[in-house]
Amino acid sequence: MHMSNNPEQGLVENPSHSGFGPASAMAKFYGILANGGQHKNKRLISAEGVEKLKDVMTSGEDKVLFLNITYGRGTTLFSTPTVSVSLFFFQLANILLD
């Protein structure tokens, strides 16, 4: 069983390592970010907070993934919208290919 599929992994407190939840929750969260922090005409995240997620915190070769990656505040940043997928999807691909 891949580590990310192990239910016990979700019990480990590790705020710097992905998140656990159903796909619908992730879709809602990313939708809120894409809408500038609003959902159903209600502001849930300030516009400044959404912009802060884009701040580059570190960039270079990830020594675990062996990829050049730019990280923001809890986010993985990509230079073009055409590849703006989260590291979650990279991990999902590893699970499916495992």
Span 69-92, pLDDT tens digits = 888 887 788 765 544 445 555 555
Half-sphere exposure of residue 12: CA atoms within 13 angstroms, side-chain side: 11
pTM of the complete model: 0.57
Please write the tens of the pLDDT for every residue from 45-58.
Answer: 999 998 888 889 98
For residue 24 the two structure tokens come to 């619908």
Local structure of 79: helix, strand or coil: coil
Only one residue has tokens 């995240």, namely: 45
Type of residue numbered 94? N
